[in-house]
Structure 1
Amino acid sequence: MKQLQGDMNCRLSKIELRNFKNTEYGIVEMPSFANKEYFSRSADILGIYGQNGSGKTAVVECISILKNLLEGKTLPANVKNYIAQTSETCQLRIWFTVEFNGEKSLLEYKVELGEISKEQTGIITEELFASEYSGKSFKRKKLIIGYSSEKGKSFVTPDKLYKDLVKLREESSVDMMVARRITQREGVSFIFGDDMNRVFELSKDVLGVYSGVIKALRDYAAYDLFVISNVRESHDHNICLIPVLSGAEDKKEESRKYFVPVDEPFVLEKSKFVFFENILEKMNTVICTIIPGLNIDIHSFGEQLMENGKEGVKVQLVSKRGDVTIPLKYESEGIIKIISLLNLLMCVYNNPFMCLVADELDAGIYEYLLGELLSVFRRGAKGQLLFTSHNLRALEMLDKTSVIFSTVNPENRYIRLKNVRNSNLRDIYLRSIILGGQDEEIYDETDAIEMGRAFRSAGKAVRSEEQN
């Protein structure tokens, strides 16, 4: 590989889960990768459908954990709950196609989570691989760097890498020991943590191009990969505000990324106020086409000194319909959901290297509107959108490779439907639920008569308790 110069273009390719929640094994490929269009710059949309409790949200949570690790952040406090009860560890893998300086490669990051002490669940091993693209296929993968917490094993691999880092700079030995301690104590990635990042910065001659690759993956996770989860600890009512990027703007400025609450006033730094107004102006251009007559505006309460001593403005987001203005928090859940995702969707539409992962995309959104949005993205978007949903309207709007289904079999959790010869994926899915015919069962059969009997039985039990 040549020396890395400038930005690295990166796209999500596939995800693999082993013993994660109720999934013993499952693999999810983005449509472009499944179609062998590895370095596509057009819309890459994937919907995940299936029965309640069949592993759809597990994919979103898996990507969320991997995003945290790639950013150098800590594992969630409840990470132990993600490991299947039938196993002591879980393994997550994620692949990215990357381009830089005319070179094309496939990067693979693999991490194994499990008990590292009696009181703590954390990272047992992690590895980063690269496979160069020959023009037709990917070459044999090469280990860039690995980490292990297991006793009796080198904690950094390959051994040559460790020796070369120490040979170039003796202090690297101490720095790597510190990084290992932090990984064990705080659940931070050894490879992508801040301490190893400093080692790589000071030892570029050893890693060569790969020191840039590691930094570029950190940047991708922080600025181009967004995960919106509906689990309890997520910030469901925050609007994520980032610029609509054309590719020429500097998207790596942390000051240009905001998470703004819709349910209460907040103080905005004066220097960022113009940027905030510009974002709302762009959002309103789209909002009026999705929800006719609606606009988002800012209500200012006046200047206020911020905690850091800088001048700020206390503001609240409001919605306007004609002459009527109300706080945005009083709008319906569906409208708040659309507005909360809108700026991210704008970025995905215009930036081929932006990826949005959203759980329950359809929640609160009118099904016809959902279908129209997905149709618009399928025809004209440049970026990547991965979502879970229960609303079958999307099956009428997306190609067969753009939808996967969760199955009843935990050992083969995700499949694409076979024998799809027409565009009506919805009919085929419903027929497969009733008649079967797929490689795996996609619905654990329920019986309406049994349901009714159970409800009646429960009602009798309640009445009996009341009489006693």
Structure 2
Amino acid sequence: MMQQIVKVQNIKIQHLKNVMHGSIQVPVTFDELEKSTVVGLYGQNGSGKTSVVDAFGILKRLISGWVSEDKLPSAERRIIHIEQETLQMTFDFIVKNAVGEYFLQYEVHLKAGTKYLYPTIEKLSYRENIRGRRMKVLVAKEGGNLQIRTVPMKSMKDDERIQLLVTNQLAVKEGVSFIFHKELKALLQQLLSEEEWKLIENVATDFNRDLHIINNENIALIMTKYIMPFSVYLDKKRGFIPYNLETPAVLSSSLFETLSAVIVQTNKVLSMIIPGLEIEIHKIAEQMLDDGERGIRFEFLSKRGDRVLPLRTESEGILKIISVLSALIGVYNNPNACVVIDELDSGVFEYLLGELLTIIEESGKGQLFFTSHNLRLLEVLSNKNLWFTTTNEENRYIQLKGIKAVNNMRDVYIRAVQLGGQDEEIYKETKTFRIKKGFRKAGKVDD
């Protein structure tokens, strides 16, 4: 059976946090679908890098409607730009399945409701990868105007019209997608052709399953050395499993078996990255959980030769590598993998990180999007895969111009920060004398 392959080709963000407008093009084509794309985002603190991670997180919640009850972000989070009422996102995909090759586009506008954000506009469109073909609507919503293909709701049968109205009301109330709402699934399967239905499945099932997002909340847990979220990227299982670093952990037997499989997978690479290091599982006892399921009390140990210590004794950087390694293994082996990591460089030795990304870029198969402050990576990644934030809210993401094959991207970026010369300013200049003055004034506050 042919493998379905879905990859992100373009991302457009408007009015999300401090991004008025920003777009990123991903160098992926139908000819190289099984070749990895590693996309790095760089820039000044607070300049919009994490907004891209947030956009993927919102997309994940929207397309998970068939299998998850995840709501859109709370209206209280104020992630819509302060001067705007709605945020807008457009994701372009390229899809290869058993039927053919397609360009697929998902556009959504979100507004703050009483509790959650909710979609005011949603549109899923596609076209075949054939010259001259135009985009065709699969499903669309604009306020109360709903349509499937080119058929508006008013032209549908009574039962179909009622189903659309009810689903739309639920989507607004619940803070979820209309297009990917579980109540609409059966109707879409009935009204769309096999080709069209397959495209929706490619997004809602195939891409959704392989989209894995590691954000600042995950990283913060590792930094506290309290909870370590293990990324799970196995053949048939995806997600996160939290592990308590402070005391022996207790998990259900099924979660324990999954985490044990992740450790087996991780150890195959870990000792190559950090020579001599392996993770051992110390199973302490079995016990009954509150829900009646059998649980396992255990502890992870760090083993280097004859030296065995609790895993929590390892550095933040090593814990970070262990936490994300399953996801990176997924990117290396699975062309459908789409892994998004905020602050990938946090606590990790820069030379090692450069080696890992070089290996994934040269020999991997999936997609990796990451933000970073570590400039070492600019020396090892291709210019076509590097995007930089600007000080212009209206044009947040650019690629550096005037790059030659012999250029060191790190030097080019630092020169652009110091001297400019790009289409947009990429660094809001700081004055050292003003910083010194601020420090002096701050030291006199208690005088």
Q: Does 1:223 align with 2:238?
A: no
Q: Give the direction of change, closer, same or farther, for the CA distance of 1:183–1:79 in structure 2 (3 Å limit).
A: farther
- Residue of structure 2 equivalent to 1:238: 229
- Counterpart among 129, 139, 153 of residue 125 in structure 2: 129
Q: Give the direction of change, closer, same or farther, for the CA distance of 1:444–1:175 in structure 2 (3 Å limit).
A: same
Question: What do the CA deviations read for 1:330-377 (whole angstroms, capped 9, x no partner)?
Answer: 322111110010001011101111011000000000111111111111
Cα offset, 1:138, TM superposition: 7.1
Amino acid at match of 2:232: L
Q: Does 1:139 align with 2:133?
A: yes
Deviates more, 1:364-373 or 1:107-116: 107-116
Q: Distance in 2 between matches of 1:387 and 1:94?
A: 17
Q: Distance in 2 between matches of 1:240 and 1:47?
A: 20
- Residue of structure 1 equivalent to 2:199: 213
- Counterpart among 62, 79, 91 of residue 69 in structure 1: 62
Q: Distance in 2 between matches of 1:163 and 1:208?
A: 24
- Residue of structure 2 equivalent to 1:420: 403
Cα offset, 1:37, TM superposition: 5.7
Backbone CA RMSD of aligned residues: 2.5
Answer yes or no: is the 8 Å Cα contact 1:31–1:45 preserved in 2.
no
Q: Distance in 1 between matches of 2:174 and 2:359?
A: 43
Answer yes or no: is the 8 Å Cα contact 1:20–1:90 preserved in 2.
yes
Q: Distance in 1 between matches of 2:194 and 2:154?
A: 15
Answer yes or no: is the 8 Å Cα contact 1:148–1:156 preserved in 2.
no
Q: Distance in 2 between matches of 1:234 and 1:125?
A: 34
Q: Does 1:185 align with 2:169?
A: no
- Counterpart among 388, 391, 394 of residue 371 in structure 2: 388
Deviates more, 1:296-305 or 1:119-128: 119-128
Cα offset, 1:231, TM superposition: 4.3
Q: Give the direction of change, closer, same or farther, for the CA distance of 1:389–1:28 in structure 2 (3 Å limit).
A: same
Q: TM-score normalized by structure 2?
A: 0.90
Answer yes or no: is the 8 Å Cα contact 1:242–1:257 preserved in 2.
yes
Q: Give the direction of change, closer, same or farther, for the CA distance of 1:207–1:307 in structure 2 (3 Å limit).
A: farther
SS at match of 1:215: helix
Q: Distance in 2 between matches of 1:294 and 1:387?
A: 26
Answer yes or no: is the 8 Å Cα contact 1:67–1:221 preserved in 2.
no
Q: Distance in 2 between matches of 1:86 and 1:374?
A: 38
Cα offset, 1:112, TM superposition: 0.5
Answer yes or no: is the 8 Å Cα contact 1:71–1:221 preserved in 2.
no
Q: Give the direction of change, closer, same or farther, for the CA distance of 1:376–1:454 in structure 2 (3 Å limit).
A: same
Cα offset, 1:65, TM superposition: 0.6
Q: 5 Å matches for 1:54-203?
A: 54-72=47-65, 73-78=70-75, 81-101=78-98, 103-116=100-113, 121-134=117-130, 137=131, 139-149=133-143, 153-156=144-147, 158=149, 160=151, 162=153, 167=157, 171-201=159-189, 203=190
Q: Distance in 2 between matches of 1:367 and 1:233?
A: 17
Question: What do the CA deviations read for 1:179-203 (whole angstroms, capped 9, x no partner)?
Answer: 21221111110111111123234x1
Cα offset, 1:315, TM superposition: 2.2
Q: Distance in 2 between matches of 1:90 and 1:271?
A: 40
Identical amino acids, percent of aligned pairs: 36
- Residue of structure 1 equivalent to 2:436: 452
Q: Give the direction of change, closer, same or farther, for the CA distance of 1:173–1:80 in structure 2 (3 Å limit).
A: farther
Q: 5 Å matches for 1:216-365?
A: 216-231=202-217, 237-243=228-234, 245=235, 251=236, 259-263=241-245, 264-270=247-253, 276-365=259-348
Deviates more, 1:72-81 or 1:389-398: 72-81
- Residue of structure 2 equivalent to 1:248: none
Q: Distance in 2 between matches of 1:79 and 1:28?
A: 28
Question: What do the CA deviations read for 1:47-81 (whole angstroms, capped 9, x no partner)?
Answer: 00011111111111111111110111310114751
Deviates more, 1:37-46 or 1:352-361: 37-46
Q: Distance in 1 between matches of 2:53 and 2:241?
A: 20
Q: Does 1:429 align with 2:413?
A: yes
SS at match of 2:192: helix
Q: Distance in 1 between matches of 2:432 and 2:201?
A: 54
Q: 5 Å matches for 1:25-40?
A: 25-32=21-28, 39-40=32-33
SS at match of 1:419: coil
Answer yes or no: is the 8 Å Cα contact 2:119–2:172 preserved in 1.
yes
Q: Distance in 1 between matches of 2:437 and 2:288?
A: 64
Q: Distance in 2 between matches of 1:363 and 1:120?
A: 31
Q: Give the direction of change, closer, same or farther, for the CA distance of 1:353–1:20 in structure 2 (3 Å limit).
A: same
Report how many aligned residue pairs link the two structures.
436
Q: Distance in 2 between matches of 1:99 and 1:369?
A: 34
Amino acid at match of 1:296: I
Deviates more, 1:334-343 or 1:192-201: 192-201
Q: Distance in 2 between matches of 1:30 and 1:96?
A: 10
SS at match of 1:454: helix
